[in-house]
Structure 1
Amino acid sequence: MPPLRSPIAVVVKGYPRLSETFIAQEILALEKAGFTIEIWSLRHPTDGAVHMLNKQIKARPVYLPEYLYQAPWRVLAGALAALARPRLFRLLGLFLRDLRRDFSANRGRRLGQALVMARELDPAIRHIHVHYLHTPASVVRYAALLTRRTFSFSAHAKDIWTTTDWEKREKIADSAWGVTCTRAGVETLQKLAPPSDPDRVSLVYHGLDLARFPEPPRERPARDGRDGDDPVQLVTVGRAVAKKGFDDLLDALAELPAGLHWRLSHIGTGELRAALKAQAERLGLADRITWRGALAQDDVVAALRAADIFVLPCKEGEAGDRDGLPNVIMEAATQALPIASTRFAGVPEFVREGEEGLLVPPQDPAALSQALATLIGDPALRRKLGEAARRRVSEAFSFEAGIAVLADRLDAVLAGKGA
């Protein structure tokens, strides 16, 4: 039996989300390590399916009012309860300072959510851990200040690159500690940490709990793109948003030799899905692409097992948005798939050129097309890279090590020892 540890709250932007298995696996692991957890979510789920991983988590989510008018009595009760708290004027001073620099309805909504959370959070919980350093951390920072709780954070991708420096700097300063999942992310955030404590933010890879994944297929067909009845199977997984580079992928596929036979499966939803389908039509690729929509984890793994190549051409998205190290790349590696991706964000921290996959510059469809043609036509190379990818996720990206770090840091701050 694991040791019984102090309860904590975990705050997320939305729960459950098919695209955030890394958060679900962390919550489940912390429960198994002995933590009692309350999950607080700023939004209700929008995905139709739910991962089996989420079903294994004991904690049931509490949903804050996504818009304050949807729960006026909860917001009013939170505001009235705040009147009795000695730190209310400190909170209002902080909020007004933030509002002057970010005059928006979103800022007011975060204050209202924080007041609700401050009133409703179990008094036995003394520490809050928040995923994402943008809006979820605003709610947590306000609630923690009002209630004399400590908080820590996990920063991931968009929140690092699209949040203003002043806001990141102040949230880091008020936190007990924080972690992020790429070298680029930790270097960026450490520059904003208090000069006396640059290590307040540290690198912790998500890793994967390999027990959740089957062993990879013992062998795959030696397809080489010459047989129209047995095309090479490509798969990509991710929300249809700019930073995933799916438009570049379609352009790259259009440049492949006409006599090369392949099929692509895309798994995911997203705002650009209709535009991508239209692009595929214009390029004459529609009959070679299957748009599968959002799938639960078991179905994603089944798609990876049926594929020959995993491709994800990450790039910078709108307003500087970018990925960290996409978990799905490591998930593909569990099934011994070679990776075709870009030298961008956290991808090269896992995929080494010519070892676990082939990397090209971001936003370079011609280079991506050449890399895909190489992989499509060379089943022996695919097998070599895929086996190396499987070894790398097993040996160098330990999920257990990351959870041990988080558990130790949570124990330390709960014991009043800092991080």
Structure 2
Amino acid sequence: MQRRKIVVVLKGYPRLSETFIAQELLGLERAGFELILVALRRPTDAKRHPVHDEIKAPVHYLPEYLHDEPLRVLRSLLANLPRPSFWRALGSLAADIRRDFSRNRARRFGQALVLAAEWPEEAGWLHAHFVHTPASVTRYASQLRRLPWSCSAHAKDIWTSPDWDLASKLSSARWTVTCTKTGFDRLTKLANGSSSVHLSYHGLDLHRFGSFGEARKQHDGSAPAEPVIILSVGRAVEKKGYDTLLEALALLPGDLAWHFEHIGGGEELKRLKALAQKLGLDGRVSWKGALAQEEVLEHYRSADIFALACRITADGDRDGLPNVLVEAASQRLACVSTDISGVPELLSSDETGLLVSSENPIALAQALERLIRDPVLRARLGDAAEQRVRSKFDHVAGIGQLKELFEREWRAAE
């Protein structure tokens, strides 16, 4: 069967924090699909992961703000005006504007006009990554070009979008996949139980995250010269709960020898560094900044514990199943996290990791102390976590599921 070109709409590309998306794009290419990437934003990260260099798809950038490229937007509007489909798409915008009167909504329609006017030759399908702004652009563009579309929904986009917006997109898309059971349940309810919503874990490229065969250190926090290394990887943003994690570290007994390492950028880094100083953690915390994937892998292998204090923010934002937890578990690293969203789908407390309630630095400190003092427990949990990852979270299964979804629709259309 002839493969069709798929236009994949992304919020930004490439992004260090979205390796799961890059991995999926590469998997689809290797499965025989021809992709064209369209991003709403240009990259802001100075580094790239190796996977980004392996993806062959060309990348096109839409105007992030319409006033930045007014002539491009005007040309696109004039190109779309003669199409009868323009008025249908404009009707959708009008309906949306009545519920969400914002410049952002108009901007997404303008970006869709540019995408529709500069449409890649022979492309016959649109796929959005994230069901909020990228899906808005994709939905309008699908109406303008009279082409089918599908969507991958993840975390923040599911939980911070209004019900009416999600429901309209779910009814318009041919199918939608999401990566956690909690997200799947929410979307299925909004889609009135439709079978067009599918659960599809991202998984890992287990060739890239091969088994770590070396014996881990048996440090137990009793020797100041041999501190237990606690690692966390993630953007310094509110939903990651790094303030809670720092508070938990400050509660650890003074006789324990440990050191905390954080990998990642983010808008809250300055505030978190000040908090660490206020809590008296100077000399016990290292801020590594954003690192490429191969450097992160080395840190997984040299650390003793992985910690992530995920939370639900006031606006509903939260992680799905953080990919860094799956990565850490793949390296036999004992993990402690919170029992929200999709985390319990990977970590079962006292079986494949330790789980505590969110916003609870005392419980988190107790779990960390337990892991610091007990290298045998760390080894048991790390071994079990790796077995779960390698049996349940291989990205090959997810790519196969996406391939079948695309091809099933195309077979039906033919």
Q: Sort the TM-score into its range (normalised by shorter chain).
A: over 0.9
Name whichever of 223-232 and 396-405 sits farther off: 396-405
Corresponding position of 1:28: 26
Q: Measured at CA, do residues 247 and 96 of structure 1 come closer, stay the same or move farther in structure 2, by a change above 3 Å? A: same
2:226 maps to which residue?
230
> What TM-score results when the alignment is normalised by the length of structure 1?
0.97
* Cα distance in 2 for residues equivalent to 1:122 and 1:44: 19
Cα deviation per residue 1:15-44 (whole Å; 9 max; x = unaligned)? 000000000000000000000100000000
Shift in Å, 1:318 = 3.9
Matched, 1:180 2:159: no
CA contact 2:178–2:198 (8 Å) conserved in 1: yes
Q: 1:95 aligns with which of 78, 87, 93?
A: 93
Aligned equivalents of 2:368, 2:60: Cα separation in 1:
45
Alignment of 1:96-111 (within 5 A): 96-111=94-109
Rate the CA distance shift 1:217–1:53 in 2: closer, same or farther, 3 A. same
> Aligned pair 1:332/2:351, yes or no?
no
Match of 2:368 in 1: 372
Are residue 281 (structure 1) and residue 277 (structure 2) matched?
yes
Q: Distance in 2 between matches of 1:376 and 1:411?
A: 49
The DSSP-based 3-state class of the residue aligned with 1:199 is coil
Identify the match of residue 382 of structure 2 among 379, 386, 394.
386
Q: Which residue of 2 aligns with 1:293?
A: 289
- Write the mapping of 1:5-404 to structure 2, written as runs, cut at 5 A: 5-193=3-191, 195=192, 198-404=194-400
Q: 1:394 to 1:4 in 2, by over 3 A?
A: farther
Matched residue SS, 1:339: strand
Q: Give the letter aligned to residue 61 of structure 1.
A: V
C-alpha distance in 2 between matches for 1:198 and 1:97: 23
Deviations 1:328-381 (A, max 9, x none): 100001110011001111000000111111100111000000000000000011
Rounded Cα–Cα distance in structure 2 between residues aligned with 1:90 and 1:188: 28
Q: Which secondary structure state, in structure 2, belongs to the residue aligned with residue 103 of structure 1?
A: coil
Report if aligned partners of 2:108, 2:133 keep a CA contact under 8 Å in 1: yes
| One-letter amino acid of the counterpart of residue 343, structure 2 | V
Which residue of the partner structure matches residue 411 of structure 1?
Answer: 407
Q: Is the 8 A contact 1:127 1:414 kept in 2?
A: no
CA distance in 2, matches of 1:277, 1:244: 15
Post-superposition CA distance 1:263-306 (Å, at most 9, x none):
01101111111110000000000211111111110011011111
TM-score of the pair, normalised by structure 2? 0.98
SS in 1 for 2:400: helix
Deviation at 1:125, TM superposition (A): 1.0
Q: Could you tell me which amino acid in structure 1 is paired with residue 19 of structure 2?
A: T
CA contact under 8 A between 1:217 and 1:305: conserved in structure 2?
Answer: no
Between the aligned partners of 1:48 and 1:199, the Cα distance in structure 2 is 41
CA shift for structure 1 position 177: 0.3
Q: CA deviation at 1:4?
A: 5.8
CA RMSD of aligned residues (A): 1.2
CA deviations on 1:79-138 (whole Å, 9 max, x unpaired) are 011112111111111111111111111111101100000011214111111000101100
Percent sequence identity is: 51
On the 8 A contact 2:219/2:226 being kept in 1, the answer is: yes
Between 377-386 and 405-414, the greater mean CA deviation after superposition? 405-414
Give, in whole Å, the separation in 2 of the partners of 1:78 and 1:415.
32
Aligned length: 414
